[in-house]
Structure 1
Amino acid sequence: MAVEYRVLGPLEVLLDGVPVGVPAGRCRVLLATLLLRANQFVSADEIVERLWDGSPPSIDRAGKTLHMVVARLRQALGAANCVQTGAGGYAAVVDANQLDLLRFRAHLNAGEHAEATALWRGPVLANVSSESLHRDAVPALAVERLTALEHRIDADLARGVAAELVPELRTLTTQHPLREVFWAQLMLALHRSGRQADALAAFHEVAVVLDEQLGVTPGQRLREAQQQVLAGDAPVRVAHQVPRQLPTALPHFVGREAELTRLDGVLGTRQPIAVINGSGGIGKTSLAVQWAHRVAGRFPDGQLYADLRGFDPTGAPVNPNSTARDFLLALGVPADEIPVATEAMLQSYRALLSRRRVLVLLDNVRDLAQVRPLLPGGSRSLVVITSRNRLRGLVTQNRAFPLDVLDQDESMVLFSGRVDADRVAAEPAAATRLVELCAGLPLALGVVAARATLDQHPLSMLVQELEHAALDALDTDDPLTSVRAVFSWTFGCLSPAAARLFVLLGLHPGPDVTEAAATSLMAAPAAEALDELVRYSLISFDGRYRLHDLMRSYAAEEAAHRLSADERAAGRQRIFDHLLHSALAATARSDPLRQPITTPAAVSGAVVLTFETNTDADRWYATERAVLGSAVTAAGETGFDGHVWRTVWAMRHFLLATGRRREGERLQRLALAAAQRAGDVEGQCRSRRGLVSLLVPEQKFDEAEEHLRAAVALDSLLGDQIGLSNDLRGLAYLLGRQGKYADALDPLARALEVAMASGDQIELASVAASLGFVHNELGDHVEAATWAVRARDIFLELVPDERDTVVASNRDTLGSIYRALGRYEEAEANYLRSVELQATLSYRHNQADTLVRLADMKLELGERDAARGYYHAALDIYDDLGFAKADDLRELLARLG
């Protein structure tokens, strides 16, 4: 005998495949109530509420009627009866395969969404008359079904199904107009069916619905779909990113109970900010990390962490704008969707955190100016700050948490927790004296405990050694003096290799160190030495090796004291070569058409990394950016001017692609100054051109022209034909940006002559592309087509996949040329190819400009709906980037109606 119960549609009971009649009215309500909570006892009181929709008769009458309903239902079900009586209630006891709702959920858990959705036969309990059931229980099931449908359609799209989905998705978006996922799936299905304009029109349609009914803009899923349509592909959606950036909490954290309790009071307040302040080494970061882990569960959207290096002895404090950009990336915002304009980017960051519950830990903050831009909007997210300054004016008194040194008892607990308790008990006086010598500083206590654990000498011997530490006379009233004494004492027990590495780390530009960098410093494998330094608590490891800023200061002192000038220069040469040549390798992978620079080979011992893919190269730049920036500054301060301009040259593509214009301009000016100091003509030319690429977008035309004309003179003197052609193209571009296209022909003619003489195909194709653009702007479209097609053909030979910014720009030019010649199909094809390429190259403002030109053409041809779709796509990009063009485009759309 096989029994099946169905609730995912009209209520049905089947016995060996034959329907069993369930009486209408209260019998169906009772069975439905129990089946929705299958295998759970439901109280008689709750059942009564359901049977009478919240208005039951007297208790006595309701109870008697309920017994009658149960008896009648059991009689009707017969052999299919599943109703059992329990203490104070009833349950429908069924096997997992007997009830469609249980099978539905089992399929969901197994990821079998097609099988799950196939079980639905219509509206849940369509033949059950119960206002309370349909109000309280059925809506949640409907949501489960819609979610399963979303997953099933995602799977269909991933399998390549497209056109077949459009009718279903049209119905779903009509029935559920505010469910953004269905709209995003409709856009992708339309696009994959060759209906890009319809896909963009669907985006515009849902944007209007969301604005009118909810007053919100399209969310991340819709925006991802829009970008996938514009890019010409439709990858499976990446899951929402939840960053987990908190450092590991200390395993032996002790004390600070009063501070932890006070910190708990910050939660749920209207100003969720806590500032922990105190001197270096006093345990601010440890306390902040400990508490952050304790409350992290309250912030389901993740935890962000940044060391702002406000007191780092080797470099400038971290720029908060750069940190905000990094946080946006960590929260899942694609790099090309982060606004270029600083204020727009910060607004985007604050707005995102105002919608999410995120814990933000800002470590080592220098001052108010550094931290204010990073404070989240709203009160949903929490920010925890550590600083040596009090940061008065940021928070009220009850949000400030000043730390003092640990008292003697707390210090002993910390020390004993890290050292064998039997040793401490055996030598209590020595243990007490060791703790006293650490002056209550957790940093010093950690180092001393590590030494005691590793060396296993009697504690009294360690006391004698520490008391005679050679660096400075001990003065326990000065925490810094005490901690330096501890460092000196511990340094003396290191192996020769570890001691050498620690001293060499004083030459590293910071803020953190990789094994490859350490190996370069030593000119020998560094893994074992690094492990030893970690064991002695002189450095820490969380994926990268880090030195406390006090430890870094001490390492720098030791480097100055123990290394000769030649040894310091050689160590710096190796680390600067490691960073420079690895950066050049990354750039060669990310920007293959870029003309190389003259670079001396890396010295022996410097590790040079290689990269298999563009993604690997970009990821390396992202993780090493802070080190590279510090290295540029350090190289300039120590006489390595060639490394300055070459490293900046290598970084330029990454900085432009990620919108870091201010950082890029600062570094380019350092590069130019370094090249001038060194009398390096090539460096001056490359640095000037790099600076121009950052000045022109800011409309600093006069200064840009000065740099370009100086570069022309220097490259002519140097005899660098490719460089000279590049300079001349830059001058033509600068003139064109000012509307002086006729004037731009002269430098381009000279550039063509030089490029042809050089025989370099990359430069020749680039000049041809520039000539195509300028002739088109001057109205000579036939001549423009000749040059642009020539450029396209050469580019296709050089980079068959066309993934290059110059190639994408030339495709855009071809679109405009064919549009002017009335060859509209060819124009649209080239515009769309340009949009597709630009979406993969992180230059979204160019993508938006191309979309506007395509929309203009569609409007001229009378295709108003397609034009609106492209205009709206461009408007979203301009809004994201904070471009003023957005307002003009908004007015145009208003006129279109």
Structure 2
Amino acid sequence: MEVRILGPIEVRSSGNPIDAGPSRQLAVLAVLAVEAGRTVSPDALLDRVWGDNPPRRVRHNLHVYISRIRQVLAAAGAPGTVVRGPGGYSLDLPAEAIDAGRFRDLVSRADGSPDLLGEALELFRGEPLAGLTGEWAAREREAWQRRYVEASLQWAAAKQQAGDMSGVVESLLRLSAAHPYDEAVAARLLRVLNASGQRARALDHYQVVRTTLAEELGTEPGAELRQLHQQLLRDEPAAPAPRRGPALLPPDAYGFIGREPHLARLDETLTRVADQPTAMPICVVTGPPGVGKTTLAVHWAHRVRDRFPDGQLYLDLRGFGPGSSALTTGQAVRRFLDALGVASRRVPADVDAQLDLYRSEMAGRRALVLLDNAHDVEQVRPLLPGSSGTVVVVTSRRRLTGLVAADGAWPVPVDVFSDAESRQFLLRRIDDGRADADPVAVAELTARCGRLPLALAMVAARAVLEPSFSIAELTTDLARPGERLDALDLRSVFARSYAALDPAAARLFTLLGAWSEPEITLAAVASVAGEPEAEARRTLGRLGEAHLVAERPRSRWVLHDLLLEYAGELPLADEDRRAALHRGFQHLLHTAVAADLALNPHIEPAPLVPARAGVVVEPIATKNEAFDWFNRELTGLLTAIERGERTPGFTEYVPPLAEALCTFLHRNGYWTEQARVQMAVLRTARRLGEPALEARAHLRLAHALTTGRDGEAEEHYLAAIDLYRGCGDIDGQAQAHRHLGWLYETRERYAEALDQAERALELASAAGSDRSLAEALNSVGWHNLLLGRLSGAVDFCERAVELHRRLGSRAGEAAALDSIGFAYHRQGRQPDAIRYYEQSLALFRAVGARLDEAEVLDHLGDAHVAAGSTEAARAAWREAATILDSLGQDWAEVVRAKITD
């Protein structure tokens, strides 16, 4: 199976093309293929495929396209290759299955081999990503065309070196016509023409290039082309042009991998010259400490150094070195003047005059200036040359917003490696077979290092120095709490960034370490800090500028887990730590209760302790706002519940947080998460000696385990019944018996299920609980339906509908209406069944019960088929499958099979 993007988008199986769908679906596939092995968030997919004008139901469209792509790849022999992870989607295919991956591999292995380079070039079947529109496609297309040009030049040079000129002139002529401003192409063509005995043609081509540059860009050819021209005029051998300027780049690190999007973005800097020939392109490579900014910038600089024949200047500005080691402007400019060969007697004493001389020396040069490890804009701006022929690349732990805003700098933000890049990095560095032999240990090592390139490099170095250690043994130190930073030798690296913070930013960073949550909202930050949101936002901005936190959409901030571990070690008074934790817990609890109330407006929540001063409670008034908040904060809420359970003095938050989460988890079918929450409540209840709380935890845990671990579920149901009986809680017993009936239903023990429902009805009547009574009535009716007792069953369900309506319980009413629809479907009264199903569906949609909505849609599809309306049935089943896919429910395949059948 093969995915092709270096031309029209194609999927091929055994050499034959497979229909991969319409253009938008092809665009989604192309994004996943370009980023193969890396997770692409849904927001990034939407932006790259639809841009600024997405349709109204764009997320639905995306889910549909992902589902269809899975089907296409499965048909091509690669099922399960589109993987849904926590952060989005990834295409899990080996490099050789994607033409772009094979191209990269062939070029990296070529080492001057014209055969391998020629094989790589043959993968291009025309314009990359042909037919795709939009800014992302245009950027990627341009980057791949640049890679094609570079590989073509390497191939031409390799052929010439081997003395085989066949096809080289023709290929370079086509390349020159496609890239008339590219002087590297022109220079290689002049050399090849001269070497093949076509000196006059080479001279003519030089004049064509010179005229084009003058008329189109207003520039003269660079030093290499001019020198080549002189050699041609004198009929001298066209030897490589001697470098006229300094070559100060540090060595390119062995084992560089990945970073294709970042290299492409740096490549775009070269094309910006044509947009405004008088302007000097500036690139700012930014990211947190240890992420590989310098490695990326130096590697790219080596790739393009031939485009800067007048010199490559490099300087480590030491912006985050220990103490006051940062280079001053005077020190930096003097280093550059020395590198440019300016005699000492010509260098004035005044720094401003030295800067004037530096700019004069750089005027007219085709040069690259790499300013590494800059502290701030003030350190960089004086060192910017004025020459439009020069490209400047700056690396920094700070964003250097001033350069982007005032100087039009091109930002290149760098983050940690993807999982695939991390694995590839370790395999490249640890090349003695140990890493290949233990992929599980490599994955564990990657996770322990947080995919941070510097951490991975440290571990790889230790592996190389300790060849007797297995990869699994290398993870031992990293697995011990509190020892990762020592094992990875990162503490001093992070300390330099922390030392550069102002006091307010340093305090907030320390408090974030105390809260210890890798992703956090502005409201939570303000609560933990005990300060207004506006002030917290300003301070977070300074932390973001230092790349100690990263801002995400919707007022969220992320801390890399190694930075979070470092922040958690920083000194903080115990009183301040506990106060920050209480404010963080109270922010989550009070907001969760507000969200639960929006989902259940008819309930009366238990009274809460008033929030402390400084706690921010997010305003949540509608069902949609509640679902949105719960979806965004679910991971943090689960973590908080487990943290509260194990932290003395904070167990009080566990039961109310779990209670506030219950409806949301139930309506979305999040049974694994519900079991996790209720286990924490169960342990807390036993520790506190509260049997009523323990009974409720048993009941909800049993409900969460019913569909997958029914043996355990039954034990928890029986434990709940015993505890409720011991507490004298009749209503609790009724609920436990009713749910136990559902468990017996899943085992197809319908008579026993009905016995439990009737027991629940008896207990609910004795308890005087209308809500339990309504639920028990529907259960009795439903289990009668399953036993074929249709007429009497409807009576119970209709009584349940009436009682739920009186209570204002729309979810309960919807469930009873679904039961009546099922009864009419069994009786062959399909119009009545459809009418009740549609009423039930409207109510479940109104309360946001997505899993229940999917179940009713499934039933509705059955009724439509029985009524002869196959298209209506397919529509209902498709919608049900889409919902189930979004909730991660395997049941989606069962529904989808109905559509196929």
Q: TM-score, normalised by structure 2?
A: 0.48
Relative CO higher for 1 or 2, CA cutoff 8 Å, sep ≥ 6?
Answer: 1
Q: TM-score, normalised by structure 1?
A: 0.48
